[in-house]
Structure 1
């Protein structure tokens, strides 16, 4: 869990991996500081860990907690991408940090990630 001033900082709860060698795949582009209001969540959750699940009907807004979506997640979705359709292409705009079945909080990709 990310911390700031000895308090939990859910808005920046993410980690990056640095690969020693590039992978032969095309990554999904990032959109830092998105102004989008409609989002999709992808992930493998506890009831179907072997099958990719997706929700494409999330509305959201930014807050001091991060990106707050009006759709819930299940255990296992943490760390999954939050996407937005920008100029007819999907972009990663956040990463699932927490959820309760009703709302989802996404970590922001501001200064932690650069394209």
Structure 2
């Protein structure tokens, strides 16, 4: 008798899985997203809470706060580790809509919003 085999890496499927289908209804990332959505970041004093009209658009502070809270709950303190999580972790991809800020952006957000 052989071993249990996974799908081939080149195998396509008829119904592609979406990020929404991969995250359970009661998952922590849904709680984080709902919590941050209720906050008034400008009233709480977050820097760059209001977008500038000119220049290159920056990351929404709400997205970076969600990433920071996720890292706190998962015991990930390093900005470089959080950057790696954005590129490999399905939970973080769902939470940030597949945004992948670099470690310097994450570190600056922490520094500016103590």
Whose strand fraction is larger, Structure 1's or Structure 2's? 1
Whose helix fraction is larger, Structure 1's or Structure 2's? 2
TM-score if structure 1 supplies the norm length? Answer: 0.26
TM-score if structure 2 supplies the norm length? Answer: 0.26
